[in-house]
Chains A and B, each alone.
Chain A
C-alpha cells in the first residue's frame, strides 16, 4: 500500500492564482481531512469528509474548497491564492467507525508559497 499520497511536494504561486492540491489514499478509508501547519500554530483543520459526496468545514475553511467524488481522492482547491495561505498542507485519512477514535494516517505534505 502506498498509504496517503500528496502532490505536488512543493509549489510556488503568485497572489490570485488558483491551484489544486491532490490527495489520494489506497486504504479504503471513509474519513479524509486537510490540515495546514504554520510555525508555532500546530495543525489546524481546514475541511474534512466522512465519505464520498460528504464534506464539511473545519476550523479554518476560508479560501479553500473541497469535493469528494470518490473514496480514494480528496483534492483541496485554492481559488485565489493569498500570501496568508503560505503554509505546509497535510492530508490525512482514517476509518470511520461507529464508535471509538480513529487513527489518522498522514501524507508527506505539500509546501506552498504564495508570493
Chain B
C-alpha cells in the first residue's frame, strides 16, 4: 500500500522569502507524484506532476519540485513567495494502473497550509 506524509501542517513565511513544503511517500513500487493547491473556498488545482525522466519538475506559478527516489521525497519549492500563494498544498501519489487492482486512484497527504505574511 502507498502512503503520503506531509511533514508540516502549517508553514508561515514572509513575502519574497523562499519556501519548501516537504512531502515523503511510502511505496513498494514506483509511483506517480503530484502537488495540488487549494485556494480558500475553492477546489483543488494541479500545480505539477512527476511521471518519469528529469527529477526536477517545474509547475505553474513559479513552483518546482524535486523527486528523490532514495529518500522517497517530493518536496515543493518556490524561491520567492507572494501573498497570493497563501493556500493549502496537497501532495498526492498514484500507483501504476492495475497494480494490486489499482485504478490509479490518488492518495493524498493531509495538507500543508502556507501562510504568506507581508
Query: A74 on the interface (CB 8 Å rule)?
Result: no
Q: Chain A residues with Cβ under 8 A from B4's Cβ?
A: 42
> Which residues between 56 and 115 of chain A lie within 8 Å of chain B, taking CB atoms?
56, 58, 90, 92, 96-104, 106-109
Query: B54 on the interface (CB 8 Å rule)?
Result: no
What is the minimal beta-carbon distance from B39 to any residue of chain A, in angstroms? 11
User: How many positions in chain B have a CB within 8 Å of any CB in the partner chain?
Assistant: 23
Q: Chain B residues with Cβ under 8 A from A48's Cβ?
A: 103, 105
Q: Chain B residues with Cβ under 8 A from A31's Cβ?
A: 103-104
Determine whether the beta carbon of B51 is less than 8 Å from that of A101: yes
Interface size class of A (residues with CB under 8 A): 20 to 34
Please, how many angstroms separate the alpha-carbon atoms of A42 and B105 in the complex? 14
Query: B45 on the interface (CB 8 Å rule)?
Result: yes
Q: Chain B residues with Cβ under 8 A from A13's Cβ?
A: none
Q: Chain B residues with Cβ under 8 A from A50's Cβ?
A: 103
Query: B87 on the interface (CB 8 Å rule)?
Result: no
Determine whether the beta carbon of B45 is less than 8 Å from that of A40: no
Determine whether the beta carbon of A99 is less than 8 Å from that of B97: yes
- B interface residue numbers (CB < 8 A to A): 4, 9, 32, 34, 36, 42-46, 49, 51, 90, 94, 97, 103-106, 108-111
Given contacts A42-B108, A42-B111, A90-B44, 14 further A-B contacts (CB under 8 A): A40-B9, A42-B4, A43-B106, A44-B108, A45-B106, A48-B105, A90-B43, A100-B51, A101-B34, A101-B51, A104-B106, A107-B43, A108-B42, A109-B42
